[in-house]
Amino acid sequence: MREEFGDSPRADRIGLREPRKRRGWDMAGLICGFVGLGLIGGSIARALKKSVPDARIIAYDVNREALLLAEKEGVADITASAIDGSFSDCDYLFLCAPVQRNDSNLAAVKKVMKTDCLLTDVGSVKTAIHEAVREAGLEGRFIGGHPMAGSERIGFANSRASLLENAYYILTPTDSVPNQKVEDYRNLVAAMGAIPLILDYGKHDYVTAAISHLPHVIAASLVNLVRDSDSEDGIMKMVAAGGFKDITRIASSSALMWQQICLSNTSNISSLLWDYIQALTDFRQRIDARDEGALYELFDRARIYRDSFISASSGPIKRSFRIAVDIDDKAGALARIVALLASKSLSIKNIGITHNRESDDGVLKVEFYEEASMTAAVELLTAEGYQAEVRA
């Protein structure tokens, strides 16, 4: 089983070994096809155009408006009205449509893709697509892909090349795909600014069940618990502040998407959910017993492990680039900060005032689209005398 970290601007800093470079590998003239051009497919296409400017992009999507916009913005060189001969010269073919359509899309691409074309996908569950690829007889030409990045906004209109920057991009090659194909694809992913990580597809589904799928189940369950426990005047909803909002933010994700993920990765999610229920039962027993030592250890072990996390990926649980700023409660205070950020062309994604200081010292929350803008904002505001710090 191949299991490796790839190249990235952060590889040296976080202790990951550099990938082997293929001597003489040239991406000039690269032709990539996209079946589905939503948020993820569009972001990959944009990242390819940015990293390999002369790459040609061929795209098909049931949403004609997305294709027209892709043409207008110079992302798609050719748009197809179906999965047809337009894709016959592709070096890479990305399956980015909803997973329910994989069977029909696989049958269609098999008829038109050339022999040395590499087929890949972008789904967050890999077992089903690997089984479908095996049934289609395409194992020797398939490497599963999962860019661990996302946004609460969907569709091509919200896609951006920066979505992949420093995000882990998991590759799940079949056993029969040539090693050189794996190496070339890993280098292409690294060129797009992502961090390639090669895993067995079964291990991928277990890992993502633990760090992505289960947290969404937990967040949805916790929100529903509070909703069902709240009083008629909604006091719980009214006072819900920092801690509750932070750990339930992902409950705002697409209900349809998470329904499909639970139906696709059922056994792994169910197994880990059972383990979690047992852990909660143990926690409850410690609380009921007022076991001071055990309770401290449970919280402390969690704190130590959580603090050891690398702050990297835009992730399956998407990282927010937020800062907290302590400001005076007077007219013009907010406007001055916005003006300062605008003076340095720092684009704000979201901004809000926290009136309940449950856990934050600052009352102003500012969120940015990327890490570089967040870091620059902290430096700028600190230099101007504000107390500003990053909020994970």
Q: Is 174 left (phi over 0), alpha (psi -120 to 50) or beta?
A: beta
Most confident segment among 134-148, 224-238, 251-265, 339-353: 134-148
Instruction: Please give the pLDDT value at position 368.
Output: 87
pLDDT (average), residues 72-94: 93
Burial of residue 35, with CB atoms counted within 10 A of its CB: 0-12 exposed, 13-18 middle, 19 or more buried: buried
* Residue 310 to residue 189: CA distance in whole angstroms: 20
Give the confidence band of 249 by pLDDT, cuts at 50, 70, 90: confident
For the question of whether the overall pTM of this predicted structure is more than 0.85, the answer is: no
The class of domain 205-307 in CATH terms is mainly alpha
More confident residue, 318 or 354: 354
Tell me what pLDDT residue 6 has.
42
Whole-number mean pLDDT of the chain? 84
Please give the structure tokens belonging to residue 277: 């229920």
The single-letter code of the amino acid at 222 is: L
Q: What is the pLDDT of residues 369-384, one digit of tens each?
A: 888 889 899 999 899 8
The CA–CA distances, whole Å, from 253 to 46, 136, 159, 317 equal 23, 32, 17, 10
> What is the per-residue pLDDT across 17-70, written as a single tens digit (0 to 9) for each?
333 333 335 676 899 999 999 989 999 999 999 998 889 999 999 999 999 999
Q: Express each pLDDT in 290-342 by its tens digit.
A: 999 999 999 999 988 888 775 544 444 456 788 888 877 667 778 888 888 98
Q: What is the pLDDT of residues 184-224, one digit of tens each?
A: 999 999 999 999 999 999 999 999 999 889 999 999 999 99
CATH 3.40.50.720 domain position(s) in the chain: 31-199
Identify the pLDDT of residue 392: 59
Position 152 confidence tier, pLDDT thresholds 50, 70, 90: low
- Rounded distance between C-alpha atoms, residue 342 and residue 39, angstroms: 27
- 118 pLDDT above the threshold of 70: yes
pLDDT of 47 reads 94
Q: Which of 73, 70, 3, 9 is nearest to 36 (CA)?
A: 70
State residue 16's pLDDT score.
34
- Give the mean pLDDT of 137-141: 93
Please give the Cα distance from 56 to 198 (Å, whole number).
26
31-199: CATH class: alpha beta
Overall fold of domain 321-391: Alpha-Beta Plaits (3.30.70)
- In degrees, rounded to 5, the angle at the alpha carbon of residue 252 between the alpha carbons of residues 308 and 217 is 65
pLDDT of 154 reads 76
pLDDT score for 306 = 84
The whole-number pLDDT of residue 139 equals: 93
- Could you tell me where in the chain the CATH 1.10.3660.10 domains are found? 205-307
Q: Range(s) for CATH 3.30.70.260 in the chain?
A: 321-391
Residue 239 reports pLDDT greater than 70: yes
How do 56-60 and 92-95 pair as beta strands? unpaired
For residue 101, report the phi and psi dihedrals to the nearest 5 degrees.
-95, 5
> pLDDT tens digits, residue range 261-293?
899 899 999 999 999 999 999 999 999 999 999
